[in-house]
Amino acid sequence: MGYSYFYLDQEGRALRYFEKALELHPGDDPKLNTRQDIEELIDSCKKGISLPQFSECFRERTEDWWETFAEMEAELRQMMDEDKDHTRGAELVSQMQETLNLVFDEISFEMGFNGEKHELILTPEGDKVKLFELVYFQKHASKEVLEHWNILVGRQPIRNIELRTEDGWNISGDDVKIWLEEQGENSFTISAYCEKLLPMLREAEGRVWWMLTTLTDQVLGEIPHMWYIDDFNVLEEPKAEQSFLLSQLPDMLKEKGANLSTDPKAYLESYLGYKMEPNKDPQADWRMDVMVGSTNCVPLINGYLNADNDFMDALHADGAVAGFFCYPLDILREEEGTDKIFDFRDKLEEAFTTGDGPEVLTLTGGATGLFCGYVDFIAWDIQAALQMAKKFFEDSDIPWASFHTFRREAGTVNLKTPPEEEPDNEDTQDEEEFSNPEVYIEEEMEAVEGHIQQYFGKFENVFHELSSPDIHVDICVVPPSEKRDYYTLVTMGMGAHRMNVPEELAEYKLERAELAIALPGNWKLKHEDLKNERWYWPIRLLKTLARLPIASDTWLGFGHTMDNEEDFAKGTKLCAAILTGPQGAEDGSEVCILPGGKEVNFYQVIPLYRDELEYKLAHDADALLDKMNGISFVVEPDRQDAITRGTLADEDFTGYMDDASYHIESIEEKELSIDPVNAYNHMAIYLRWCMDHELMSDEFIVRYNEEYELFMKDLKRADLRSFIRDKLGGKLFGALFNKQGAAFAGYYYGEGDSPYYPADVDDHAFRFFGPERYHSDKFQDEAYLFIPFDEDYYQAMAKAIEERFTNWQGQDFDEDTLEPSELAEALMEYLDCKCTYFPSMKDDDPIMAAYGYAKRDSAQEGFVPVLIKADDETLLECLVMNADPGNDADFYEFDLKTVTEYRKKMLSTPIKDGKAVMEGLIGQRKEEAEDDDMDWDEEVLGEMEGGYDNDRFSCYWNSDNDMTYPLILAKIPVKNPWEIFAYLPFGNWNDCPDTPELMAAAKYWFEQYGAVPAAMSHDELEFLLPAPVPKEKAMDAAVELYGFCPDVIDQGPEDATVGALADVLRQSTVWYFWWD
């Protein structure tokens, strides 16, 4: 949890966990963080709570949100208006919740329509600190939004309102008796009794309290409730004194002089004066010297005095900070009185109540102490607030000034220091000097921004870093486009620092750098998503690398690597990174020349596996990059390993395979309604299968002999989930297995390549639940955890494991094809999409596993997977011939811009009528038969007999050695399967149809039979179907296939007929085409 909060930039919440970890640290386990590691994390947290830094502050979140809402609100209104029967309420609330979470870590709200306008009511739930946030947020609503919406803060009073209980009772203000007790000026206590709620009160007291306080909000209005009701008691029996009905409460308070306005601003402008007994020790904590003060936010004062940081943590999570400025009073004191003290404070407050001040912070009070003056505030943009304060104090006669958050334990940020005083390290070790980071000057920033826009792509979204002790690193987010189907994240600010490059390299101008990383188009980058390390880690990697040259007084350049020493996040084994030249960018992207001649070098960050890093260190960067040919630069958490692809794994594999804690963390984070023991289901299945097949190590059998003997008597009843949890620490690792078991585990479970056991588990979940439920919000990408843990589940997965094991035992690879050839590289460059290269192999199980995984995810991620023969020179020639016909150079040197334009043209051109295309082609075949004096019905069509079943692809098999040809699995970035031919226009020669006909036929067959193009070479094409063609339709389909590709009959056996083809189609899920 400490790491989770730390990487979400919530250092306050993280600090408590790290301090507890340090307290409990055993000090003798090398697998754990060292005490020094934890102490460094604690130190970093303390800096973070003293001078908070946000990727986006509350001010920016607010501005961005209203712009976003203005774009979506019309659609939201339409949904509300059309929901006459109120069946879409949950969907509407969910959509608004997701949107509001872009600003607020936690938020309560209500939506409705008052007959004239739609309403969004933001409710503070009695939290006055939250109320300040909501009021600031509310006032930034745009005029365009306010034309259609009332944006209100606090539940509004509604007479005759009723709440319905779970057992069917309707509770109104007339059902609740109250006793009102005056505690002081504008302060009352309510005691409430409701006979209808007595049964619930005995079982769920908190629920009753919530219902009655919420009902009070509705009767009185939430703002008056917060203003006047300081205590609320729920009674089990009525008092003897005279009672009133809750519905009469508004009238009662009015009689006592209460202002029942629902305007939250009036409530927030009501100040409370307070006195304290000052501590006369000048070394005491800040504010301990206070004599008198005033505040409109008592919770912040009390939280500071009681060292309670809950309110501060909540503000921090939203990008806001509460704190105070402090300054000495000695030079302001005069014998005549304290006018000078208050005059100075008034000027300081005026600086923040005029101009941009209210946008930056909201004042909440102030205090006068024996030694210091204090001005309190909540900052919506802490960097801007401190800059404004720094300028104010520097222009004043005050000798020093500081900023401190409302956290008692935090350090102090110096805003002004007497020039003649040097800080005493011993006395100020907990203080943080507020200083400006190294930044580009305005002209340089414009040059870098322009360079990114020109060479990497246009961007609108920037992850801002608002304050920093060293450099100011923003991250520009270039979204996916037609040309690039992935995000590009580029740092902007790292190059302001001049790195310490060796003198012998000075002539190359390598002192300045910026970094880029590419993420898949489905990577989640919303504010709420980035709270999950699964999505945040590439951003953290960029920030870490950007600061590495400063922290280590070193430099970064081409071929340099960084070792993270642990996996970047759960769900990936990537744990290091290498820098290369920019990938997928325009020519000229490598260097940006700044005004004045300085050069900023741009590098691509490519995450690595552990063995890839070790290979680079043992050889060099070029050797590793050669090894990585065919692996995409776009980050894939489970991509192929460049070192192990094309191998059978290591029989000495002892490494990590799975850890239930990751799965349990997902259950907790996503609040899944399942037993945490489900995290062990798939692990227990794998362990049971290995035990049943005698793949366990001798050490395992000896160490757990008692349990092992008991399990082996009846594995079907063995409680292996509890065993893994209690005895194996929730983990599976290679050392549990014998040599054969370890080698198989390394091949099938230890790496993210295909086949991959966790992916097979996901496949089973996909088949078990079906696509709609598998991708539902209920499962939240964790469907495998919901599969019932029964014998059926085991048998289904045991069958899958058995098949993988059998295929693995008979596997072999052609070592000459382990790396992609020049032709394969050119073909992947032409495709310009995510590609996975497969060497020639004896068993195609890894290929079909990868294709299956890709097909499962294709609809959600927006691509169509296709298997393509890699070393097919004629195929590349055909593709270039159609997509770049004006190319006079070698077809290896096609113009990708021209190819891209061809694709756009094909995708934007209306698809021909597929049935009409078929009829035209069939007509040609009939004419050919007539020319050859063949009887159509007898000699061409024939009888539906003599067929066979075909469920395997055949176009990639080499009959000379019974191995596959080298293959490419391409994820073509199109929505519909027939659109792949815009990327793969291999036809338009002899009888092979041209691209428009290929697309029309594929669309027609997809709509008729669910057929999708799946594998191809230059003269072969294979479709995959979810089920064979029904017998009654087989003949019609066979005629269409013959019209489309006459060679399947004409170049077949002498007795080949359309009827024989029909007999094949009714038994097969693969269609095979071949053109001579």
pLDDT computed for residue 321 by the predictor: 96
CB 743 within 8 A of CB 690: no
Average pLDDT of 145-161? 90
Residue 466 pLDDT more than 70?
Answer: no
Residue 655 pLDDT more than 70?
Answer: no
Residues 29, 74: one domain?
no
Residues 613, 703: one domain?
no
Residue 168 pLDDT more than 90?
Answer: no
CB 606 within 8 A of CB 551: no
The angle at the Cα of 810, spanning 804 to 816, to the nearest 5 degrees, equals 110
Residue 642 in domain: no
Tokens read off for 677: 């023991």
pLDDT computed for residue 335 by the predictor: 44
Residue 431 pLDDT more than 60?
Answer: no
* Alpha helices (H) along 51-119: 58-82, 89-100
Average pLDDT of 312-338? 84
- Amino acid identity at 279: N
Q: How many CA atoms lie within 13 A of 610 on its CB side?
A: 10
Q: With cut-offs at 50, 70 and 90, classify the pLDDT of residue 551.
A: confident
Residues 427, 471: one domain?
no
Could you tell me which of 65, 58, 259, 268 has the C-alpha nearest to residue 151? Answer: 65
Average pLDDT of 912-932? 92
Give the pairing type, strands 599-608 and 513-520.
parallel
Q: With cut-offs at 50, 70 and 90, classify the pLDDT of residue 1053.
A: confident
CB 985 within 8 A of CB 906: yes
Q: With cut-offs at 50, 70 and 90, classify the pLDDT of residue 472.
A: confident
DSSP H or E stretch at residue 744: helix 739-748
Residue 182's region, left for phi above 0, alpha for psi from -120 to 50, else beta, is: beta
Q: With cut-offs at 50, 70 and 90, classify the pLDDT of residue 1.
A: low
Q: Which of 105, 136, 153 is the last residue of a domain?
A: 153
Residues 791, 706: one domain?
yes
* Distance, CA of 460 to CA of 67 (rounded, Å): 13
* Distance, CA of 980 to CA of 907 (rounded, Å): 9
CB 62 within 8 A of CB 527: no
* Distance, CA of 204 to CA of 776 (rounded, Å): 32
Tokens read off for 638: 């489970």
Residues 404, 460: one domain?
no
The pTM of this model reads 0.48
Residue 430 pLDDT more than 50?
Answer: no
Q: With cut-offs at 50, 70 and 90, classify the pLDDT of residue 166.
A: low
Residue 818 in domain: no
CB-based burial label for 894 (10 Å; 0-12, 13-18, 19+): buried
Residue 632 in domain: no
CB 103 within 8 A of CB 526: no
Could you tell me which of 645, 655, 637 has the C-alpha nearest to residue 781? Answer: 637
Higher pLDDT, 752 or 109: 109
Q: With H, G, I as helix, E, B as strand and everything else as coil, classify residue 163.
A: strand
Residues 765, 855: one domain?
no
Contacts of 897 (CB under 8 A, 6+ apart): none
Residues 357, 386: one domain?
yes
Residues 787, 843: one domain?
no
Residue 434 pLDDT more than 60?
Answer: no
Higher pLDDT, 965 or 423: 965
* Distance, CA of 874 to CA of 868 (rounded, Å): 12
Residues 872, 785: one domain?
no
Residue 637 in domain: no
Residue 223 in domain: yes
* Distance, CA of 938 to CA of 826 (rounded, Å): 48
End-to-end CA distance of the chain: 63
Residues 281, 343: one domain?
yes
Q: With cut-offs at 50, 70 and 90, classify the pLDDT of residue 527.
A: confident
Q: With cut-offs at 50, 70 and 90, classify the pLDDT of residue 489.
A: very high
Q: What is the DSSP code string of 403-447?
A: EEES-TT---EEEE--TTPPP-TTTSTT-EE--PPB---HHHHHH
Cα dihedral value 190, 191, 195, 198, nearest 10: 110
In percent, how much of the chain has pLDDT > 70? 93
Residues 43, 63: one domain?
no
Higher pLDDT, 52 or 785: 785
Average pLDDT of 480-484? 86
Residue 42 in domain: yes
Q: Which of 433, 461, 492 is the last residue of a domain?
A: 433
- pLDDT, tens digit (0-9, with 9 covering 90-100), for 46-103: 777 888 888 789 999 999 999 999 999 999 999 999 888 888 888 888 889 999 999 9
Residue 27 in domain: yes
pLDDT computed for residue 896 by the predictor: 87
Q: With cut-offs at 50, 70 and 90, classify the pLDDT of residue 36.
A: low
Average pLDDT of 980-1001? 93
Q: With H, G, I as helix, E, B as strand and everything else as coil, classify residue 642.
A: coil
Q: Which of 811, 837, 859 is the last residue of a domain?
A: 811
- Cis amide prior to 437 (ω within 30 degrees): no
Higher pLDDT, 1002 or 168: 1002
Residue 259 pLDDT more than 90?
Answer: no
Q: With H, G, I as helix, E, B as strand and everything else as coil, classify residue 966.
A: coil
Q: At what angle do helices 128-138 and 58-82 cross, to 10 degrees?
A: 80
Average pLDDT of 313-319? 92
CB 812 within 8 A of CB 841: yes
pLDDT computed for residue 35 by the predictor: 65
Tokens read off for 100: 């509001």
Tokens read off for 685: 């299945």
Q: With cut-offs at 50, 70 and 90, classify the pLDDT of residue 440.
A: confident
- pLDDT, tens digit (0-9, with 9 covering 90-100), for 796-835: 999 999 999 998 888 888 988 888 999 999 999 999 998 9
pLDDT computed for residue 31 by the predictor: 43
Residue 427 pLDDT more than 50?
Answer: no
Q: With H, G, I as helix, E, B as strand and everything else as coil, classify residue 58.
A: helix
Average pLDDT of 524-545? 89
Cα dihedral value 225, 226, 229, 230, nearest 10: 160
* Distance, CA of 439 to CA of 493 (rounded, Å): 6
pLDDT computed for residue 3 by the predictor: 64
Residue 650 in domain: no
pLDDT computed for residue 429 by the predictor: 35
* Distance, CA of 685 to CA of 795 (rounded, Å): 9
CB atoms within 10 A of CB 945: 10
Higher pLDDT, 1023 or 989: 1023
Q: Which long-range contacts (CB under 8 A, 24 or more apart) does 346-349 make?
A: 348/375, 348/392, 349/375
pLDDT computed for residue 428 by the predictor: 37
Q: With cut-offs at 50, 70 and 90, classify the pLDDT of residue 30.
A: very low
Tokens read off for 369: 């102490």
pLDDT computed for residue 531 by the predictor: 78
Higher pLDDT, 631 or 351: 351
- pLDDT, tens digit (0-9, with 9 covering 90-100), for 835-871: 999 999 999 999 999 999 899 888 888 899 999 999 9
- What is the tally of structural domains in the chain? 7
Average pLDDT of 594-622? 92
Residue 423 pLDDT more than 60?
Answer: no
Phi, psi for 29 (deg, rounded to 5): -115, 110
For the chain, give the mean pLDDT. Answer: 88
Residue 1009 pLDDT more than 70?
Answer: yes
* Distance, CA of 324 to CA of 402 (rounded, Å): 8
Residue 638 pLDDT more than 90?
Answer: no
pLDDT computed for residue 215 by the predictor: 92
Distance of CA 101 to the CA centre of its chain: 14
Contacts of 295 (CB under 8 A, 6+ apart): 271, 272, 274, 301, 364, 365, 376
Residue 631 pLDDT more than 90?
Answer: no
DSSP 810: T
CA dihedral sign, ordered 808, 811, 815, 821: negative
Cα dihedral value 722, 723, 728, 732, nearest 10: -90
Residue 648 pLDDT more than 70?
Answer: no
Length reported for the chain: 1076
Could you tell me which of 315, 289, 288 has the C-alpha nearest to residue 300? Answer: 315
CB 384 within 8 A of CB 392: no
Residue span of the structural domain in which 461 resides: 442-627
- Amino acid identity at 97: Q
Count Cβ neighbours within 10 Å for each residue of 225-252 and write b for 16 or more, e otherwise: bbbbbeebebeeeeeeeebeebbebbee
Residue 676 pLDDT more than 70?
Answer: yes
Residues 301, 246: one domain?
no
Strand runs labelled E in 124-176: 149-153, 162-164, 170-172
Tokens read off for 387: 């800059």
* Distance, CA of 569 to CA of 573 (rounded, Å): 8
Q: With cut-offs at 50, 70 and 90, classify the pLDDT of residue 642.
A: confident
Could you tell me which of 758, 757, 756, 746 has the C-alpha nearest to residue 644? Answer: 746
CB 667 within 8 A of CB 570: no
Residue 1038 pLDDT more than 80?
Answer: yes
